[in-house]
């Protein structure tokens, strides 16, 4: 469904992604693990056209997207839950959700989608009028995920959804990721929380200083020496 081949991304003269190749197949949960500054967020930004790669190709459903506008990419069925959530803090929960649906036209579709995400995130239904920035970190993460779902994606990319959350909220977030997949949405997950991500994912990639150094099933990565030492605290 999503295929990156030999992607090279630069910020000015400095190269951050080096020949990154990875793929996510329909129905999978695939995670991308990496330490701080490995290039995880840059990978997401490159997929969504927020940074243009200088080389390589990105296919979504077999069609090249590396030169397309972010809005067109989202409209084609790929949604992003950005790092640090990036909700609109002064807007209400409802307004944030409506922003996520900007690619959809009809009022009827909008209210149907709103019902659907409120079924997944009942906490949001109770808080539709609340200013989004006054919610807890976990609630804001739920809102960021719900907002992405409002665009009716076939695939969703999430940048560190567990960041800064309490252990119990992290569990809730990962349960929700599972539920989203069970509803037929393919998931690409960027995470530093390797242990949780690998328990949930089907497959994973490890990114080190902008290069993919490992790719395997999640089960194999959980027992891999490099992964255990670098990302699972040597456990």
| Length in residues, the chain | 235
140 forms part of the interface with ligand ATP (CB under 6 A): no
- Whole-number minimum distance, CB 198 to ligand ATP, in Å? 17
- Whole-number minimum distance, CB 71 to ligand ATP, in Å? 21
* Closest-CA residue to 56 (of 48, 71, 66): 66
55 φ/ψ angles, rounded to the nearest 5 degrees: -155, 160
How many residues line the site for ligand ATP (CB under 6 A)?
11
Among 34, 100, 138, 153, binds ligand ATP (CB under 6 A): 34
Please say whether the beta carbons of 109 and 97 come within 8 A.
no
Q: Which stretch binds ligand ATP (CB under 6 A): 40-48, 133-141, 150-158, 172-180?
A: 40-48
85 forms part of the interface with ligand ATP (CB under 6 A): no
Name residues whose C-beta falls within 8 Å of residue 91's C-beta, 6 or more positions apart in sequence.
Answer: 99, 131, 132
Please say whether the beta carbons of 17 and 8 come within 8 A.
yes
Q: Which is nearer to ligand ATP, 97 or 206 (CB)?
A: 206
DSSP code at position 232: S
Say how many Å lie between the first and final Cα of the chain, rounded.
34
Sign of CA dihedral 192, 1, 214, 221: positive
11 forms part of the interface with ligand ATP (CB under 6 A): yes
- Whole-number minimum distance, CB 12 to ligand ATP, in Å? 7
Among 16, 101, 169, 180, binds ligand ATP (CB under 6 A): 16
Q: How far apart are CA 67 and CA 47, in angstroms?
A: 10
Among 41, 96, 162, 193, binds ligand ATP (CB under 6 A): 41
Distances (CA, A) of 33 to 3, 30, 50, 69, 121: 17, 10, 21, 27, 27
Q: Which stretch binds ligand ATP (CB under 6 A): 38-46, 64-72, 73-81, 145-153?
A: 38-46
- Whole-number minimum distance, CB 79 to ligand ATP, in Å? 18
Q: Which is nearer to ligand ATP, 117 or 158 (CB)?
A: 158
- Whole-number minimum distance, CB 150 to ligand ATP, in Å? 25
DSSP code at position 167: H
* Contacting positions for ligand ATP (CB under 6 A): 11, 16, 34, 36-42, 192
């Amino acid at each position: 469904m999503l295929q990156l081949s030999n992607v090279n991304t630069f910020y000015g003269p400095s190269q951050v992604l080096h020949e990154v190749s990875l793929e996510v197949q329909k129905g999978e949960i695939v995670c991308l693990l990496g330490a701080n500054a490995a290039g995880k967020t840059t990978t997401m930004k490159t997929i969504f056209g927020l940074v243009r790669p200088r080389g390589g190709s990105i296919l979504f459903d077999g069609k090249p997207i590396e030169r397309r506008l972010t809005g067109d990419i989202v409209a084609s069925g790929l949604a992003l839950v950005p790092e640090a959530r990036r909700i609109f803090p002064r807007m209400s929960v409802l307004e944030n959700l409506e922003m996520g649906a900007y690619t959809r036209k009809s009022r009827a579709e909008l209210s149907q989608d709103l019902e659907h995400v409120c079924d997944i995130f009942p906490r949001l239904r109770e808080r539709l009028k609340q200013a989004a920035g006054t919610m807890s970190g976990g609630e804001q993460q739920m809102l960021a995920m719900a907002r992405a779902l409002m665009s009716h994606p076939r695939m969703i990319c999430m940048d560190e959804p567990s960041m800064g959350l309490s252990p119990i909220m992290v569990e809730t977030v990962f349960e929700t990721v599972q539920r989203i997949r069970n509803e037929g949405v393919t998931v690409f997950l960027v995470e530093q929380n390797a242990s949780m991500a690998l328990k949930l994912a089907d497959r994973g990639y490890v990114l080190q200083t902008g290069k993919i150094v490992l790719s395997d099933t999640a089960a194999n990565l959980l027992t891999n020496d490099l992964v255990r030492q670098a990302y699972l605290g040597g456990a």
